[in-house]
Chains A and B, each alone.
Chain A
Protein backbone atom coordinates (compact mmCIF):
# COMPACT_ATOMS: atom_id res chain seq x y z
CA UNK A 1 0.00 0.00 0.00
CA UNK A 2 1.28 3.43 -0.81
CA UNK A 3 -0.10 6.70 0.34
CA UNK A 4 -0.35 9.35 -2.32
CA UNK A 5 1.85 12.38 -2.12
CA UNK A 6 0.31 15.75 -1.39
CA UNK A 7 0.39 16.52 -5.12
CA UNK A 8 -2.58 14.28 -5.92
CA UNK A 9 -4.78 16.01 -3.37
CA UNK A 10 -6.24 19.46 -3.81
CA UNK A 11 -3.44 21.81 -2.83
CA UNK A 12 -4.22 24.17 0.00
CA UNK A 13 -1.84 26.71 -1.48
CA UNK A 14 -2.89 26.29 -5.08
CA UNK A 15 -5.12 28.50 -7.20
CA UNK A 16 -8.65 28.68 -5.90
CA UNK A 17 -7.68 27.21 -2.54
CA UNK A 18 -9.66 28.45 0.44
CA UNK A 19 -7.71 29.94 3.31
CA UNK A 20 -7.54 27.59 6.31
CA UNK A 21 -9.36 28.93 9.33
CA UNK A 22 -8.48 28.00 12.90
CA UNK A 23 -11.60 25.83 12.95
CA UNK A 24 -10.07 23.69 10.17
CA UNK A 25 -7.11 22.89 12.40
CA UNK A 26 -9.50 22.13 15.24
CA UNK A 27 -11.43 19.77 12.94
CA UNK A 28 -8.16 17.90 12.24
CA UNK A 29 -8.15 16.89 15.91
CA UNK A 30 -11.51 15.05 15.56
CA UNK A 31 -13.22 16.83 18.47
CA UNK A 32 -16.10 14.33 18.70
CA UNK A 33 -13.71 11.38 19.06
CA UNK A 34 -11.68 13.48 21.48
CA UNK A 35 -14.74 14.07 23.69
CA UNK A 36 -15.36 10.30 23.97
CA UNK A 37 -11.68 9.74 24.78
CA UNK A 38 -11.82 12.41 27.51
CA UNK A 39 -14.96 10.86 28.96
CA UNK A 40 -13.60 7.30 29.15
CA UNK A 41 -10.17 8.46 30.37
CA UNK A 42 -11.79 10.55 33.11
CA UNK A 43 -13.82 7.52 34.18
CA UNK A 44 -10.66 5.44 34.40
CA UNK A 45 -8.86 8.17 36.33
CA UNK A 46 -11.65 8.51 38.91
CA UNK A 47 -12.27 4.75 39.19
CA UNK A 48 -8.66 4.29 40.31
CA UNK A 49 -9.80 5.77 43.65
CA UNK A 50 -6.31 7.18 44.21
CA UNK A 51 -5.94 10.70 45.65
CA UNK A 52 -4.48 12.96 42.98
CA UNK A 53 -3.77 16.67 42.86
CA UNK A 54 -6.73 18.16 40.92
CA UNK A 55 -4.50 20.31 38.71
CA UNK A 56 -2.39 17.28 37.78
CA UNK A 57 -5.59 15.35 37.03
CA UNK A 58 -6.60 18.16 34.67
CA UNK A 59 -3.15 18.05 33.06
CA UNK A 60 -3.43 14.26 32.63
CA UNK A 61 -6.81 14.55 30.91
CA UNK A 62 -5.50 17.43 28.79
CA UNK A 63 -2.52 15.30 27.68
CA UNK A 64 -4.80 12.40 26.76
CA UNK A 65 -7.09 14.77 24.82
CA UNK A 66 -4.18 16.41 22.99
CA UNK A 67 -2.66 12.99 22.23
CA UNK A 68 -5.99 11.86 20.78
CA UNK A 69 -6.13 15.06 18.73
CA UNK A 70 -2.59 14.56 17.46
CA UNK A 71 -3.30 11.00 16.37
CA UNK A 72 -6.53 12.22 14.73
CA UNK A 73 -4.58 14.79 12.71
CA UNK A 74 -2.06 12.13 11.63
CA UNK A 75 -4.92 9.81 10.66
CA UNK A 76 -6.49 12.53 8.52
CA UNK A 77 -3.12 13.31 6.91
CA UNK A 78 -2.52 9.69 5.89
CA UNK A 79 -6.13 8.93 4.94
CA UNK A 80 -6.82 12.07 2.90
CA UNK A 81 -7.14 10.10 -0.35
CA UNK A 82 -9.78 7.80 1.18
CA UNK A 83 -11.57 10.69 2.89
CA UNK A 84 -11.88 12.50 -0.42
CA UNK A 85 -13.87 9.58 -1.88
CA UNK A 86 -16.34 8.99 0.95
CA UNK A 87 -19.40 11.23 1.43
CA UNK A 88 -19.05 11.16 5.22
CA UNK A 89 -15.49 12.50 5.15
CA UNK A 90 -14.97 14.42 1.93
CA UNK A 91 -15.63 17.80 3.58
CA UNK A 92 -12.72 17.30 5.97
CA UNK A 93 -10.06 20.05 5.75
CA UNK A 94 -7.46 18.12 3.74
CA UNK A 95 -9.63 16.54 1.00
CA UNK A 96 -11.52 19.86 0.75
CA UNK A 97 -8.20 21.55 -0.03
CA UNK A 98 -8.13 23.92 2.92
CA UNK A 99 -5.17 22.34 4.77
CA UNK A 100 -2.14 20.57 3.30
CA UNK A 101 -1.48 16.99 4.39
CA UNK A 102 2.07 17.95 5.36
CA UNK A 103 0.73 20.65 7.72
CA UNK A 104 -1.60 18.11 9.33
CA UNK A 105 1.33 15.71 9.77
CA UNK A 106 3.37 18.46 11.42
CA UNK A 107 0.52 19.34 13.75
CA UNK A 108 -0.09 15.67 14.59
CA UNK A 109 3.55 14.92 15.39
CA UNK A 110 3.93 18.11 17.46
CA UNK A 111 0.81 17.47 19.53
CA UNK A 112 1.69 13.79 20.03
CA UNK A 113 5.21 14.59 21.25
CA UNK A 114 3.90 17.38 23.48
CA UNK A 115 1.21 15.19 25.06
CA UNK A 116 3.53 12.27 25.81
CA UNK A 117 6.35 14.49 27.10
CA UNK A 118 4.03 16.54 29.27
CA UNK A 119 2.32 13.42 30.67
CA UNK A 120 5.71 11.94 31.60
CA UNK A 121 7.09 15.10 33.21
CA UNK A 122 3.93 16.21 35.00
CA UNK A 123 2.15 12.94 35.88
CA UNK A 124 4.08 9.68 35.48
CA UNK A 125 5.99 7.79 32.81
CA UNK A 126 3.76 4.70 32.88
CA UNK A 127 0.81 6.82 31.72
CA UNK A 128 3.10 8.57 29.22
CA UNK A 129 4.28 5.22 27.83
CA UNK A 130 0.71 3.97 27.50
CA UNK A 131 -0.29 7.21 25.78
CA UNK A 132 2.63 6.90 23.35
CA UNK A 133 1.68 3.28 22.65
CA UNK A 134 -1.95 4.30 22.02
CA UNK A 135 -0.97 7.02 19.55
CA UNK A 136 1.56 4.80 17.77
CA UNK A 137 -0.91 1.92 17.57
CA UNK A 138 -3.63 4.12 16.10
CA UNK A 139 -1.38 5.75 13.51
CA UNK A 140 1.09 3.00 12.59
CA UNK A 141 -0.85 -0.22 13.19
CA UNK A 142 -4.41 0.86 12.38
CA UNK A 143 -4.11 3.76 9.90
CA UNK A 144 -0.99 2.82 7.96
CA UNK A 145 -1.11 -0.96 8.18
CA UNK A 146 -4.46 -2.60 8.91
CA UNK A 147 -7.10 -0.21 7.59
CA UNK A 148 -6.52 -0.90 3.90
CA UNK A 149 -5.44 -4.51 4.24
CA UNK A 150 -7.87 -6.59 6.27
CA UNK A 151 -11.55 -6.69 7.29
CA UNK A 152 -10.24 -7.22 10.85
CA UNK A 153 -8.92 -3.62 10.71
CA UNK A 154 -11.24 -2.19 13.34
CA UNK A 155 -11.17 -5.36 15.47
CA UNK A 156 -7.42 -5.07 16.07
CA UNK A 157 -7.19 -1.31 15.57
CA UNK A 158 -9.98 -0.86 18.11
CA UNK A 159 -7.40 -1.39 20.84
CA UNK A 160 -6.23 2.21 20.35
CA UNK A 161 -9.71 3.55 21.07
CA UNK A 162 -10.08 1.19 24.02
CA UNK A 163 -6.95 2.23 25.92
CA UNK A 164 -7.84 5.75 27.24
CA UNK A 165 -9.46 4.47 30.51
CA UNK A 166 -6.26 2.52 31.20
CA UNK A 167 -4.16 5.63 30.54
CA UNK A 168 -6.41 7.60 32.91
CA UNK A 169 -6.17 4.89 35.58
CA UNK A 170 -2.37 4.73 35.22
CA UNK A 171 -2.16 8.52 35.43
CA UNK A 172 -3.96 8.49 38.79
CA UNK A 173 -2.40 5.44 40.40
CA UNK A 174 0.72 4.51 38.43
CA UNK A 175 -0.68 0.98 38.12
CA UNK A 176 -2.62 -1.13 35.59
CA UNK A 177 -4.88 -3.47 37.61
CA UNK A 178 -7.31 -5.97 36.09
CA UNK A 179 -10.29 -3.66 36.62
CA UNK A 180 -8.64 -1.07 34.34
CA UNK A 181 -8.09 -3.75 31.70
CA UNK A 182 -11.75 -4.74 32.09
CA UNK A 183 -12.76 -1.24 30.97
CA UNK A 184 -10.38 -1.61 28.01
CA UNK A 185 -11.94 -4.99 27.16
CA UNK A 186 -15.46 -3.52 27.17
CA UNK A 187 -14.57 -0.81 24.62
CA UNK A 188 -12.47 -3.29 22.61
CA UNK A 189 -15.39 -5.73 22.22
CA UNK A 190 -17.85 -2.86 21.67
CA UNK A 191 -15.88 -1.44 18.72
CA UNK A 192 -16.50 -4.09 15.99
CA UNK A 193 -20.32 -4.23 16.21
CA UNK A 194 -20.43 -0.42 16.44
CA UNK A 195 -18.35 0.19 13.30
CA UNK A 196 -19.73 -2.76 11.34
CA UNK A 197 -23.27 -1.48 11.94
CA UNK A 198 -22.14 1.87 10.53
CA UNK A 199 -20.39 0.11 7.65
CA UNK A 200 -23.59 -1.81 6.79
CA UNK A 201 -25.33 1.36 5.69
CA UNK A 202 -22.30 3.26 4.35
CA UNK A 203 -20.84 0.21 2.67
CA UNK A 204 -20.97 1.71 -0.82
CA UNK A 205 -18.60 4.46 0.30
CA UNK A 206 -16.11 2.02 1.83
CA UNK A 207 -16.23 -0.12 -1.32
CA UNK A 208 -15.63 2.92 -3.52
CA UNK A 209 -12.66 3.94 -1.37
CA UNK A 210 -11.27 0.38 -1.42
CA UNK A 211 -11.41 0.00 2.36
CA UNK A 212 -11.98 -3.70 3.13
CA UNK A 213 -14.64 -3.28 5.79
CA UNK A 214 -16.37 -6.49 6.85
CA UNK A 215 -19.62 -5.98 4.83
CA UNK A 216 -17.57 -5.16 1.73
CA UNK A 217 -15.39 -8.27 1.95
CA UNK A 218 -17.49 -10.93 3.67
CA UNK A 219 -20.97 -9.66 2.78
CA UNK A 220 -23.95 -8.43 4.74
CA UNK A 221 -25.16 -11.76 6.18
CA UNK A 222 -21.77 -12.68 7.65
CA UNK A 223 -21.33 -9.18 9.11
CA UNK A 224 -24.75 -9.29 10.78
CA UNK A 225 -23.95 -12.68 12.36
CA UNK A 226 -20.64 -11.35 13.64
CA UNK A 227 -22.34 -8.23 15.06
CA UNK A 228 -24.72 -10.48 17.01
CA UNK A 229 -21.85 -12.67 18.22
CA UNK A 230 -19.92 -9.64 19.49
CA UNK A 231 -23.05 -8.25 21.20
CA UNK A 232 -23.62 -11.61 22.93
CA UNK A 233 -20.07 -11.38 24.25
CA UNK A 234 -20.32 -7.68 25.08
CA UNK A 235 -23.46 -7.86 27.26
CA UNK A 236 -21.97 -10.09 30.00
CA UNK A 237 -18.60 -8.38 29.69
CA UNK A 238 -20.32 -5.03 30.19
CA UNK A 239 -21.93 -6.31 33.38
CA UNK A 240 -18.69 -7.80 34.74
CA UNK A 241 -17.45 -4.63 36.53
CA UNK A 242 -20.42 -4.98 38.90
CA UNK A 243 -18.84 -8.21 40.18
CA UNK A 244 -15.21 -7.08 40.35
CA UNK A 245 -15.63 -4.27 42.85
CA UNK A 246 -15.93 -1.53 40.24
CA UNK A 247 -19.64 -0.96 39.61
CA UNK A 248 -22.62 -0.69 41.96
CA UNK A 249 -26.36 -1.26 41.63
CA UNK A 250 -26.90 1.56 39.14
CA UNK A 251 -24.12 0.22 36.96
CA UNK A 252 -25.48 -3.32 37.07
CA UNK A 253 -28.96 -2.10 36.09
CA UNK A 254 -27.63 -0.04 33.19
CA UNK A 255 -25.35 -2.87 32.01
CA UNK A 256 -28.06 -5.54 32.12
CA UNK A 257 -30.77 -3.35 30.56
CA UNK A 258 -28.44 -1.92 27.93
CA UNK A 259 -26.89 -5.29 27.14
CA UNK A 260 -30.28 -6.91 26.61
CA UNK A 261 -31.37 -3.99 24.41
CA UNK A 262 -28.24 -4.26 22.31
CA UNK A 263 -28.67 -8.03 21.89
CA UNK A 264 -32.31 -7.54 20.87
CA UNK A 265 -31.38 -4.97 18.23
CA UNK A 266 -28.50 -7.09 16.93
CA UNK A 267 -30.77 -10.16 16.79
CA UNK A 268 -33.36 -8.16 14.84
CA UNK A 269 -30.63 -7.03 12.44
CA UNK A 270 -29.35 -10.60 12.03
CA UNK A 271 -32.75 -12.16 11.43
CA UNK A 272 -34.42 -9.50 9.30
CA UNK A 273 -35.26 -10.73 5.82
CA UNK A 274 -33.49 -8.87 3.02
CA UNK A 275 -36.85 -7.91 1.49
CA UNK A 276 -37.77 -5.98 4.65
CA UNK A 277 -34.80 -3.70 4.36
CA UNK A 278 -34.72 -0.59 2.16
CA UNK A 279 -32.86 -2.36 -0.60
CA UNK A 280 -31.88 -1.12 -3.98
CA UNK A 281 -33.33 -3.12 -6.80
CA UNK A 282 -31.14 -4.97 -9.24
CA UNK A 283 -27.98 -5.18 -7.12
CA UNK A 284 -26.41 -8.53 -6.37
CA UNK A 285 -24.41 -8.92 -3.20
CA UNK A 286 -20.86 -9.09 -4.48
CA UNK A 287 -17.47 -8.12 -3.15
CA UNK A 288 -17.71 -4.38 -3.65
CA UNK A 289 -21.45 -3.95 -4.17
CA UNK A 290 -23.44 -4.98 -1.13
CA UNK A 291 -26.94 -3.81 -0.33
CA UNK A 292 -27.40 -1.26 2.43
CA UNK A 293 -29.95 -2.10 5.11
CA UNK A 294 -30.39 1.24 6.67
CA UNK A 295 -32.71 1.23 9.63
CA UNK A 296 -31.91 -1.89 11.72
CA UNK A 297 -28.18 -1.31 11.22
CA UNK A 298 -28.53 2.35 12.08
CA UNK A 299 -30.45 1.39 15.24
CA UNK A 300 -27.62 -0.89 16.37
CA UNK A 301 -25.07 1.82 15.58
CA UNK A 302 -26.99 4.53 17.48
CA UNK A 303 -27.87 2.32 20.45
CA UNK A 304 -24.28 1.11 20.78
CA UNK A 305 -23.20 4.73 21.36
CA UNK A 306 -25.90 5.22 24.03
CA UNK A 307 -24.96 1.88 25.62
CA UNK A 308 -21.25 2.65 25.99
CA UNK A 309 -21.94 6.19 27.16
CA UNK A 310 -24.44 4.90 29.75
CA UNK A 311 -22.00 2.31 31.11
CA UNK A 312 -19.22 4.82 31.69
CA UNK A 313 -21.65 7.53 32.88
CA UNK A 314 -23.01 5.09 35.51
CA UNK A 315 -19.49 4.35 36.75
CA UNK A 316 -18.68 8.05 36.84
CA UNK A 317 -21.90 8.93 38.64
CA UNK A 318 -21.39 6.22 41.25
CA UNK A 319 -17.84 7.38 41.84
CA UNK A 320 -18.85 11.05 42.16
CA UNK A 321 -21.78 10.32 44.50
CA UNK A 322 -19.78 7.86 46.59
CA UNK A 323 -22.15 4.97 45.85
CA UNK A 324 -20.53 1.74 47.03
CA UNK A 325 -19.67 -1.07 44.60
CA UNK A 326 -21.73 -4.25 44.83
CA UNK A 327 -18.70 -6.29 45.86
CA UNK A 328 -15.40 -5.38 47.50
CA UNK A 329 -12.43 -5.18 45.17
CA UNK A 330 -10.31 -8.33 45.13
Chain B
Protein backbone atom coordinates (compact mmCIF):
# COMPACT_ATOMS: atom_id res chain seq x y z
CA UNK B 1 0.00 0.00 0.00
CA UNK B 2 1.37 3.43 -0.92
CA UNK B 3 2.15 5.99 1.74
CA UNK B 4 -0.42 8.84 1.67
CA UNK B 5 2.19 11.29 3.00
CA UNK B 6 4.57 10.60 0.12
CA UNK B 7 1.65 10.91 -2.33
CA UNK B 8 0.78 14.29 -0.81
CA UNK B 9 4.41 15.39 -1.13
CA UNK B 10 4.54 14.27 -4.76
CA UNK B 11 1.28 16.11 -5.50
CA UNK B 12 2.63 19.25 -3.81
CA UNK B 13 5.84 19.05 -5.86
CA UNK B 14 3.84 18.63 -9.07
CA UNK B 15 1.61 21.60 -8.15
CA UNK B 16 4.66 23.74 -7.39
CA UNK B 17 6.15 22.81 -10.79
CA UNK B 18 2.92 23.74 -12.58
CA UNK B 19 2.71 27.04 -10.70
CA UNK B 20 6.30 27.93 -11.57
CA UNK B 21 5.64 27.18 -15.25
CA UNK B 22 2.52 29.34 -15.19
CA UNK B 23 4.47 32.17 -13.52
CA UNK B 24 7.21 31.89 -16.15
CA UNK B 25 4.60 31.95 -18.93
CA UNK B 26 3.00 35.10 -17.47
CA UNK B 27 6.37 36.87 -17.16
CA UNK B 28 7.23 35.84 -20.74
CA UNK B 29 3.86 37.22 -21.90
CA UNK B 30 4.52 40.58 -20.23
CA UNK B 31 7.99 40.78 -21.81
CA UNK B 32 6.53 39.82 -25.19
CA UNK B 33 3.90 42.57 -25.06
CA UNK B 34 6.55 45.08 -23.96
CA UNK B 35 8.91 44.16 -26.83
CA UNK B 36 6.14 44.20 -29.46
CA UNK B 37 4.95 47.59 -28.18
CA UNK B 38 8.44 49.09 -28.35
CA UNK B 39 9.04 47.69 -31.86
CA UNK B 40 5.67 48.95 -33.13
CA UNK B 41 6.14 52.41 -31.59
CA UNK B 42 9.70 52.68 -32.99
CA UNK B 43 8.41 51.64 -36.41
CA UNK B 44 5.62 54.24 -36.32
CA UNK B 45 7.97 56.98 -35.08
CA UNK B 46 10.47 56.17 -37.85
CA UNK B 47 7.71 56.41 -40.48
CA UNK B 48 6.29 59.62 -39.01
CA UNK B 49 9.74 61.26 -38.94
B-binding residues in A (CB < 8 A): 19-22, 25, 53, 55-56, 59, 62, 118, 121-122
Contacts and interface: CB of A to CB of B under 8 A. Distances in A.
Nearest to B2: A16
B35 A21 contact: no
Given A21-B17, A25-B18, A59 B36 contact: yes
A53 B39 contact: yes
A21 B18 CA distance: 6
B43 interface: yes
Interface string B1-36: 000000000110111011011000000000010011
B39 A21 contact: no
B16 to A, nearest CB: 10
Interface residues of A, dominant DSSP: helix
A122 B34 CA distance: 11
Nearest to A26: B21
Nearest to A58: B35
Contact of B14 (A20, A55, A56): A20
Contact of B39 (A22, A56, A118): A56
Contacts of B39: 53, 55-56
A121 B21 contact: no
Contacts of A21: 14, 17-18
A53 B10 contact: no
A20 B18 contact: yes
B11 A19 contact: yes
A35 B21 CA distance: 20
B36 A121 contact: yes
A110 to B, nearest CB: 10
Contact of A19 (B10, B32, B43): B10
A59 B32 contact: yes
29 contacts: A19-B10, A19-B13, A19-B14, A19-B15, A20-B14, A20-B18, A21-B17, A21-B18, A22-B14, A22-B17, A22-B18, A22-B20, A22-B21, A25-B18, A25-B21, A53-B39, A53-B43, A55-B35, A55-B36, A55-B39, A56-B39, A59-B32, A59-B35, A59-B36, A62-B32, A118-B36, A121-B36, A122-B36, A122-B40
Nearest to A54: B39
B21 to A, nearest CB: 4
Nearest to A56: B39
Contacts of A121: 36
Contacts of B40: 122
Contacts of B36: 55-56, 59, 118, 121-122
A300 B3 CA distance: 49
A27 to B, nearest CB: 13
B40 to A, nearest CB: 7
B38 to A, nearest CB: 9
A20 B21 CA distance: 12
A67 to B, nearest CB: 15
Nearest to B14: A19
Determine which residue in B35, B36, B40 has the highest number of CB atoms from chain A within 10 A of its CB, and name it. Answer: B36
A40 B14 CA distance: 34
A53 B18 CA distance: 33
A125 to B, nearest CB: 14
Contacts of A56: 36, 39
Contacts of B20: 22
Nearest to B15: A19
Contacts of A55: 35-36, 39
